[in-house]
Structure 1
Amino acid sequence: MGVALAGGLVVQVVAPMTVFPLAALFAVGALAAARPPLVSLPALALLLGVVSLNFRTTTDEDTFFVMAVAALSWLLGENRRGATARAAERAVAEEQARMARELHDVIAHGVSVIVVQAAAADDVFDHRPDRARESLRAIEATGRATLDELRKLLGGPAERPGLDRLADLVEPLRAAGLRVDVRCEPVPLPAGVDQSAYRIVQEALTNTLRHARASRVEVSVRGGPGVLELEVRDDGRGGLVGVGRGIPGMRERAVLLGGTVEAGPLPDGGFGVRARLPLAAAR
């Protein structure tokens, strides 16, 4: 900006009929886009001072026109800086929301499994100490797995969980006494869909543990034309829509992919969660 102003001043002295200091007009816009008004406005004032030398060599109308162009160039740069700042703020907010969803899913699932296993250990502690020990070992394994996933999540880029880890997801639930039937069709999935599908199933199972008082749950994963369909059905009590952040979190994940999540009581009893995740939008 300084070089452009100095060059514009020299041109005005050497060639007084030159009206437009083009380099300085571009420079003030670039400066406004990169720096706050506290820095760019003094540069605009200096540019207007250089342009005002035209009053001696050309008409007032031409001079005022060039001043207006200089002000417009600054304004365009300032608008671009504001748009860039807002985009950065949105990116930070979206990342915070994504992290909050991940933390919620990991912690809620891990704690729910631990609570159920602890209750099971308490029920059999006196007359089946061997079963109580199994539950305690399952609590330890679940706690370690949850801590490990939190370390990976908070420590930076790491391998994202996907549907290939469903077996690891349901194993502690079975150890806690919940019968889990899984039907999963192998489907090539984009990474974003794979992770979101895993988290949706995880949250649905967490809700079953925390709210449904179910004894059995069925998990179905199947691929359709350009879409992945997920369904989690349990035989517990219904009426869980609106409880906590679980169902809204599942819907947020689906909406980000252009998909949908339906959740509610089943006609024959129990509760169901059904998700449809399009594949094309995530590629």
Structure 2
Amino acid sequence: MHGDGYTARLAPRWKRLLVVGSVVVSAPVLVFGGPLWVRAVGCGLIAVQAAALWVLDVRPRAGTAVVLAVSAGFQLLVPAFGPGVAFVVLCTFAWLRPAGESLWMLALAVAAVCGPPLAQQRWLPAGLWLVACLLAWSWGAQARARGARRVAERRQAALEERARIARELHDVLSHTVSVMVVQAAAADDIFDVNPGKAREALRRTEEAGRQALAELRWFLRTARDDTDSERGPQPTLDDVAELGRTVSAAGLPVEVLREGAGEVPMAVQLGAYRIVQEALTNALRHARGSRATVSVRVGDGAVEVLVRDDGNGGAVPSANRGSGQGLAGMRERAALLGGTFAAGPRPGGGFEVSARLPIDEGTGGHA
């Protein structure tokens, strides 16, 4: 992994092709090289170039520098020969290494490829080789930039998926586990005084545990296979009333109010349900209040959710209200649906969570 987060690897097949191609391209030196000593030196240069290309994948800097030096030697021995495979190797190096490093090799390539014709006052070949060097480097650098962009996109997609899984797992388990904890604590408090109510609390704890297991199985199934056809039914606005009854049974009386009607996309319904669920879970676990109210209003192109409790929200900073996933998860859900979210202590005491989720034809998918 390099500075741009991308690691390019030279395939063995491409390396073999480079070696064979370099020999084939350089072979004319042995035929038209003139004196015997020139051909002998040319044969040695071909062998050195082939060896440098063979180690190009493990020593790209050294291999490329040697090939460029051989290219300069070929042009000095046989001016009509040209730079040979220098441009291909420069392009490959610009793909293998970050731009900051390959720029130095570009400068070396310009000196090695354009130097001999300039020394021989062959201005046109020198200009052509300069343009070819710039094009070869830019092609390789662009290929590397595309690869780095793809890697960054895959990494970002993986991070977003991890965040989605964490949010969904929190939403699936947080409420039911919180209910279990509250019921178990209540059963422990009254076990000696009122065994009947304690057993009732334990039964509700068992029911909540079974629900948590069922929700966890559903979540794992959908995480393994993300096709909509495999998903079970997800909570909707119609399930908010049952959610209120569950929290009421756990010890925090909840009044649920519904206003308005109309078609609401499933993503918006699920988002609204999860926001209510998290708000009630936080109220149950942290507020220590005597009651809570939930208002769900459908109309004016949006679903408006308002959850209030009369607990000690005014004395507890909102940052401490619930786990780190709580308020951040609700705010993120609202933002993903193009809505707004607010949460904080109420002036008269208690805590308030409000969200407005727009309804439009473009809303869809999974929150």
- Report the TM range for the smaller structure's normalisation: 0.7 to 0.9
The answer for the alignment partner of 2:336 in structure 1 is 256
Post-superposition shift, 1:125? Answer: 2.6
Whether 2:131 is the aligned partner of 1:65: answer: yes
SS, match of residue 116 in structure 1: helix
Query: Partner residue of 1:273?
Result: 353
> How far 1:37 moved relative to its partner?
5.2
Q: Distance in 2 between matches of 1:255 and 1:93?
A: 17
Alpha carbons of structure 1 residues 84 and 191: separation in structure 2 relative to 1, 3 Å: farther
In the aligned structure 2, how far is the partner of 1:187 from the partner of 1:141?
Answer: 33
Name 1:87's counterpart in structure 2: 153
Alignment partner, residue 208 of structure 1: 283
CA distance in 2, matches of 1:183, 1:233: 12
Matches within 5 A, 1:215-234: 215-234=290-309
Report deviation, 1:134: 1.8
User: Could you tell which deviates more after superposition, 90-99 or 243-252?
Assistant: 243-252
Equivalent AA in structure 1 for residue 131 of structure 2: F
Tell me if the contact between 1:189 and 1:279 (Cα under 8 Å) persists in the aligned partners: yes
**Where does residue 142 of structure 1 map in the other structure?**
208
Q: Which stretches in structure 1 are left out of the alignment for 5+ residues?
A: 14-23
Aligned residue identity for 1:190: P
Residue 313 of structure 2: SS of its match in structure 1? Answer: coil
SS at match of 2:289: coil
Contact kept in structure 2, 1:138 and 1:172, CA below 8 Å:
no
Asked if the contact 2:244/2:255 (under 8 Å) is kept, the reply is: no
CA contact (8 A) 1:235 1:271 kept: yes
Q: Which residue of 2 aligns with 1:164?
A: 238
Q: Percent identity?
A: 46
* Equivalent residues of 1:221, 1:231 under 8 A apart: yes
CA drift at 1:267:
3.1
In structure 2, C-alpha distance between the alignment counterparts of 1:63 and 1:279, rounded to whole Å: 61
Q: Could you say what secondary structure the match of 2:352 adopts? A: strand
Counterpart code for 2:319:
G
CA–CA distance in structure 2, aligned partners of residues 142 and 229 of structure 1? 28
Query: How many Å apart are 1:187 and its aligned residue?
Result: 4.0
Partner SS state of residue 282, structure 1 = coil
Q: Which moved more, 1:149-158 or 1:196-205?
A: 149-158
Q: 1:195 aligns with which of 261, 270, 282?
A: 270
Q: 1:273, CA displacement in angstroms?
A: 0.6
Match of 1:78 among 137, 144, 156: 144
Structure 2: any 5+ residue segments left out of the alignment?
Answer: 1-12, 29-86
Q: Tell me which amino acid in the other structure corresponds to 2:334.
A: A
Q: Report the counterpart of residue 35 of structure 2 in structure 1.
A: none
| 1:127 CA displacement | 4.3
| Number of residue equivalences | 259
Q: Residue 257 of structure 2 corresponds to which residue in structure 1?
A: 183
Relative to structure 1, the CA distance from residue 74 to residue 190 in structure 2 (aligned partners, 3 Å threshold; closer, same or farther) is farther
Asked if the contact 1:250/1:261 (under 8 Å) is kept, the reply is yes
- What CA distance in whole angstroms lies between the structure 2 residues aligned with 1:183 and 1:261? 19
Higher Rg of the two aligned structures: 2
CA distance in 1, matches of 2:306, 2:244: 15
Residue 186 of structure 1 deviates from its aligned partner by 4.1
* 1:236-255 correspondence to structure 2 within 5 Å: 236-239=311-314, 240=316, 241-243=318-320, 244-245=323-324, 246-255=326-335
Please, which of 101, 104, 114 is the counterpart of residue 167 of structure 2?
101
TM-superposed CA distance for 1:62, in Å, is 1.9
Find the residue that maps to 2:356 and give its secondary structure: strand
Give, in whole Å, the separation in 2 of the partners of 1:64 and 1:165.
71
Distance 1:124 1:277 in 2: 42
The answer as to whether partners of 2:338 and 2:358 remain within 8 angstroms in 1 is yes
Alignment pair present for 1:282 and 2:363: yes
Please tell me whether the aligned partners of residues 219 and 232 of structure 1 are also in contact (alpha carbons under 8 angstroms).
yes
Query: Within 2, Cα distance between the matches of 1:201 and 1:86?
Result: 35
Deviation (angstroms), 1:108? 2.5
Give the drift of 1:233: 1.0
| Residues 142 and 172 in structure 1, CA contact (< 8 A), matched pair in contact too | no
- TM-score, with length taken from structure 2: 0.60
Q: Compare relative contact order (CA 8 Å, sep 6+) and give the higher one, 1 or 2.
A: 1
Distance 1:272 1:207 in 2: 11
What letter corresponds to residue 162 of structure 1 in structure 2?
T
Alpha-carbon contact 1:220-1:230 (below 8 Å) kept: yes
Amino acid at match of 2:333: R
Structure 2 residue identity aligned to 1:242: A
Task: Give the SS at the match of 1:104.
Answer: helix
CA distance in 2, matches of 1:227, 1:194: 11
CA–CA distance in structure 2, aligned partners of residues 194 and 77 of structure 1: 44
TM-score scaled by length of structure 1: 0.76
Deviation per CA, 1:65-122, whole angstroms, max 9, x where unpaired? 1232122111111111111111111111111112222222333322221122123223
Structure 1 position 174 matched with structure 2 position 231: no
SS in 2 for 1:242: helix
